[in-house]
Amino acid sequence: MNSQNVQEPEYSIKLLLLGDLAVGKSSLIYRFIYDKFNPNEISTSELDLKTSDLIIDKKNVRVQLWDTVGQEKYKSITKNLIKRVQGIIIVYDITNKDSFKNIKTWAHLIEEEYGNKLPIIIVGNKIDLEENRKIKIEDAKAFCKNHKYKYVETSCKTGHNIKKSIAKICKIIIDSQNIRNDISFSLSTSNASYIKKKHCC
């Protein structure tokens, strides 16, 4: 048995994925956990919470990713989740202008709960569809710079920058020491586990 598999993590970080429907939130988690792409829409009830370990600056970091459905009717659930994480990944689809515009709405929801204290990274997803790009990279970067968000472009299809985007926000959180150690995990011996969340709606 590889003793690295049972090594206790030095940090435990909970992250929440926000963003419009179909931008690729569930796909991003799926790619991060399994390193695979599923071309169909992934049912979010099957993928609410996933855990995996990452090595950042030689430290073992346990990352817990919470998925959301990106719909207005789940706003109160989303607000509750925001209170329980150390960082947020807002995903938009570079081929969908509305999903970029709606970053502001998602960020507003976070600010209502937290002011501007919670680290946020913006992820422009689906860069494998470059020919259909509607948001120029310079515009996205300028917007993020203005709001002091980090920015990464990804493709869940190819896997480009997926680990990097998650490592980037984890590093910001570790560096800001915004770590809460009151998080309990349910982990299998593999590097990923599956926990089905109860739905109440």
CB under 5 to 8 A by kind: which of Mg ion, ligand GDP, none does 27 bind? ligand GDP
Q: How far is the CB of 28 from ligand GDP (least distance, A)?
A: 7
27 forms part of the interface with Mg ion (CB under 5 A): no
Other C-beta atoms closer than 10 Å to the C-beta of 195 total 12
Q: How far is the CB of 183 from ligand GDP (least distance, A)?
A: 23
Contact 153, 124 (CB under 8 A): yes
Q: How far is the CB of 5 from ligand GDP (least distance, A)?
A: 28
64 class by beta-carbon count within 10 Å (0-12 exposed, 13-18 middle, 19+ buried):
buried
Question: Which one among 129, 172, 179, 187 touches ligand GDP, defined by CB under 6 A?
Answer: 129
CB under 5 to 8 A by kind: which of ligand GDP, Mg ion, none does 157 bind? ligand GDP
70 forms part of the interface with ligand GDP (CB under 6 A): yes
159 forms part of the interface with ligand GDP (CB under 6 A): no
Contact 92, 22 (CB under 8 A): no
Contact 44, 67 (CB under 8 A): yes
Note the Cα 47 to chain centre separation in Å. Answer: 13
44 forms part of the interface with Mg ion (CB under 5 A): yes
CA dihedral sign, ordered 67, 140, 138, 171: negative
Q: Report CA Rg, the chain.
A: 16
> Which residues lie near ligand GDP (CB under 6 A)?
19, 21-27, 39-42, 70, 125-126, 128-129, 155-157
> Which residues lie near Mg ion (CB under 5 A)?
25-26, 44
